[in-house]
């Protein structure tokens, strides 16, 4: 049997294995188990199993056995160097060994005597992208001289079947893996940078606060909401938000202490035990926590519980993107915010659109009656600004006033204003 060609065997014959565990869904695991059972029974072998290569180890993922064999159980981990696999992969042992006693190298492997193994079949499970997941193996305690090419061919066929079963799980895992790597790369390269966008109080046309916004220089160039969404999907949303928050509060130290600092925090991160520690690095009375929901909030209780001590210290709570999204009005009802931020989709063109105008008017009226500050976001034109003034909106933010800026540019704007 010849050497395998593609990149899973190095020149010295050792296996280059994946470092990452792949998560196989229960349905796929179930279906692989059925495959194992049917081939094991068909070939009349004692054990059939799938192992996954991970670094220098292999993990038993699925096992079908006529009776239990110590060490060959789902979840068991062995060094790749031990056992048959490495030798088979490197071409030192054939994929099909009908009688181990006739193969001197096989007799040097400890398991051959300890289990014992009389006949052994082992084929790689090659994924659609050419990468090798691991191996699909069968063995029997006694030698089986009747095994030949047809049986080996069957093993290869089933190995392809197993790979196909895994395809979706593998694709999902790879996507997550790529996301994780991108987010790590971004953080290690110093992302996110923080820019600040001024918030103008209309009563006296004074800049009374800034919103901290993240900027990512890492390729692929994408807006911060995409970065945060991706980090979230990869299970790193909280981490990335806290990195951004810590940096925002650091940068904000260079700003005049008259300014409120708005920071963006998702409901998931609000309940993080680490949040308070990061927020504690800054004057609480200047902090406005903008809570955006990118997914519907099922249970407000933990969020309210997490916010209570922060509010007690003097921090304010804003509902971001009011008038857009899933249930931002429910958000307002449940959280009794100090600030409501009117979503950009309502501000845009509200001077010309009676429906948007009516909605903004309703929220402005709401804020007057409840003593809530209302900030209109995304103000780009004088006409929008005039309409918002007329409605009694308290504060505005948008390109018309200023784009988000790095600290030095922002200081210049503040001096000039
Ligand atoms: P957001 O919190 O609603 O932030 C306002 C967005 O509107 C910002 O987009 C801002 O640059 C943009 N904007 C401001 N004025 C105007 C305008 O006049 N016209 C238009 N067209 N856009 C305007 P940006 O910076 O791309 O951020 C997008 C979203 O990403 C943010 O929406 C926020 O949800 C999220 N985000 C950004 N930075 C952070 C962060 O540090 N942490 C967290 N958790 N989320 C962040
Ligand atoms: Ca915001
Ligand atoms: Ca917003």
Confidence of residue 8 (pLDDT cuts 50, 70, 90): very low
How many other CB atoms are found less than 10 A from the CB of residue 370?
A: 13
Q: Does residue 2 have a pLDDT over 50?
A: no
Q: Does residue 59 have a pLDDT over 50?
A: yes
* Ligand 1 close to Cβ of residue 197 (< 6 A): yes
Confidence of residue 3 (pLDDT cuts 50, 70, 90): very low
Long-range contacts, stretch 171-180, CB < 8 angstroms, 24+ apart: 173/20, 173/22, 173/23, 174/129, 176/233, 176/234, 176/235, 177/20, 179/230, 179/231, 179/233, 179/234, 180/234, 180/235, 180/236
Round to whole Å and give the CA distance between 375 and 364: 9
Q: Is the dihedral of CA 123, 127, 130, 134 positive or negative?
A: negative
At 12 the pLDDT is 53
Here the tokens at position 251 are 């940068």
* Ligand 1 close to Cβ of residue 106 (< 6 A): no
Peptide bond into 56 cis (omega under 30): no
Q: Which residues of 197-209 are buried (b: 16+ CB within 10 A; e: fewer)?
A: bbbbeeeeeebbb
Average pLDDT over residues 321-327: 74
Round to whole Å and give the CA distance between 155 and 149: 10
Dihedral angle computed from the Cα positions of residues 397, 402, 406 and 407, in that order, rounded to the nearest 10 degrees: -80
DSSP letter string over 265-283? E-HHHHT-TTHHHHHTTS-
Output the CA 110–ligand 3 centroid distance in Å: 64
Q: Does residue 338 have a pLDDT over 80?
A: yes
Round to whole Å and give the CA distance between 126 and 91: 16
> Pairing state of beta strands 373-376 and 395-396?
parallel
* Ligand 1 close to Cβ of residue 213 (< 6 A): yes
> pLDDT, tens digit, for every residue of 256-292?
999 999 999 999 999 999 999 999 999 999 999 999 8
Dihedral angle computed from the Cα positions of residues 200, 206, 212 and 214, in that order, rounded to the nearest 10 degrees: 60
Output the CA 348–ligand 1 centroid distance in Å: 15
Minimum-distance ligand to the CA of 321?
Answer: 3
At 81 the pLDDT is 83
Q: Give the range among 5-9, 227-231, 342-346 with minimum mean pLDDT.
A: 5-9
As a whole-number percent, the residues of the chain with pLDDT over 90 amount to 69
Q: Does residue 410 have a pLDDT over 60?
A: yes
Question: What are the residues whose beta carbons fall under 8 Å from the beta carbon of 113, sequence distance 6 or more?
Answer: 107
Q: Does residue 22 have a pLDDT over 70?
A: no
Round to whole Å and give the CA distance between 237 and 233: 7
Q: Does residue 391 have a pLDDT over 90?
A: yes
At 54 the pLDDT is 83
Mean pLDDT taken over the chain: 90
As a whole-number percent, the residues of the chain with pLDDT over 70 amount to 94
CA atoms within 13 Å, Cβ hemisphere of 84:
30
Confidence of residue 4 (pLDDT cuts 50, 70, 90): very low
Q: Are 385 and 376 in contact (CB under 8 A)?
A: no
Q: Does residue 217 have a pLDDT over 60?
A: yes
Ligand 1 atom nearest 379 alpha carbon = 18
Nearest Cα to Cα of residue 335 among 299, 362, 361, 287: 299
Q: Are 365 and 394 in contact (CB under 8 A)?
A: no
At 225 the pLDDT is 95
For 88, 97, 136, 157, the CA distances from 151, given in Å and listed in that order, are 17, 11, 13, 10
pTM of the full predicted structure?
0.77
3-class secondary-structure state, position 326:
coil
Q: Are 360 and 389 in contact (CB under 8 A)?
A: no
Ligand 1 atom nearest 400 alpha carbon = 18
3-class secondary-structure state, position 348:
coil
According to the per-residue pLDDT averaged within each range, which of 72-76, 164-168, 328-332, 393-397 is highest?
Answer: 393-397
Nearest Cα to Cα of residue 261 among 322, 337, 328, 315: 315
How many other CB atoms are found less than 10 A from the CB of residue 26?
A: 7
Q: Are 297 and 284 in contact (CB under 8 A)?
A: no
* Ligand 1 close to Cβ of residue 293 (< 6 A): no
For 2, 9, 16, 53, 240, the CA distances from 13, given in Å and listed in that order, are 12, 6, 9, 15, 40
Output the CA 417–ligand 2 centroid distance in Å: 23
Residue with the bigger pLDDT between 153 and 294: it is 153
Task: Name the residue at shortest CA distance from atom 8 of ligand 1.
Answer: 213
């Amino acid at each position: 049997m010849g050497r395998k060609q593609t990149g899973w065997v190095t020149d010295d014959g050792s296996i280059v294995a994946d470092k990452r565990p792949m998560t196989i869904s229960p349905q796929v695991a179930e279906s692989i188990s059925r495959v194992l059972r049917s081939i094991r029974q068909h070939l009349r072998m004692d054990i059939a199993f799938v192992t996954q290569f991970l670094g220098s180890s292999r993990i038993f993922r699925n096992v079908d056995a006529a009776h239990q064999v110590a060490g060959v159980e789902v979840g068991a981990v062995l060094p790749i160097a031990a056992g048959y696999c490495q030798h088979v992969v490197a071409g030192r042992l054939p994929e099909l060994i009908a009688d181990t006693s006739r193969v001197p190298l096989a007799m040097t492997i400890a398991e051959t005597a300890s289990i014992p193994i009389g006949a052994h079949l082992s084929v790689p499970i090659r994924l659609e992208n050419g990468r090798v997941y691991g191996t699909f193996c069968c063995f029997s305690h006694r030698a089986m001289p009747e095994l030949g090419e047809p049986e080996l061919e069957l093993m290869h066929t089933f190995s392809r079947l197993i790979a196909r079963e895994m395809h979706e799980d593998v694709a999902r895992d790879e996507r997550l893996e790529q996301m994780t790597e991108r987010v790590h790369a971004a953080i290690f390269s110093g992302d996110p940078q923080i820019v600040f966008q001024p918030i103008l109080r209309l009563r006296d046309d004074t800049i009374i606060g800034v919103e901290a916004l993240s900027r990512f220089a890492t390729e692929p160039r994408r807006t911060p909401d995409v970065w945060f969404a991706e980090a979230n999907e990869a299970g790193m949303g909280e981490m990335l938000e806290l990195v951004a928050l810590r940096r925002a509060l650091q940068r904000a130290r260079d700003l005049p202490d008259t300014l409120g600092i708005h920071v963006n925090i998702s409901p998931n991160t609000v309940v993080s035990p680490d949040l308070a520690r990061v927020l504690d690095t800054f004057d609480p009375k200047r902090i406005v926590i903008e809570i955006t929901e990118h997914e519907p909030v099922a249970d407000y209780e933990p969020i309210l519980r997490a916010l209570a001590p922060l509010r007690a210290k003097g921090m304010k709570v804003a509902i971001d993107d009011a008038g857009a999204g899933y249930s931002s009005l429910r958000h307002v009802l449940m959280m009794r915010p100090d600030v409501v931020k009117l979503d950009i989709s309502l501000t845009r063109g509200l001077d010309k659109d009676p429906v948007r105008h009516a909605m903004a008017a309703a929220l402005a009226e709401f804020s007057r009656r409840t003593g809530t500050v209302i900030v209109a976001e995304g103000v780009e034109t004088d006409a929008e600004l005039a309409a918002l003034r007329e409605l009694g909106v308290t504060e505005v933010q948008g390109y018309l006033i200023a784009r988000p800026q790095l600290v030095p540019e922002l200081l210049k704007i503040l001096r000039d204003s």
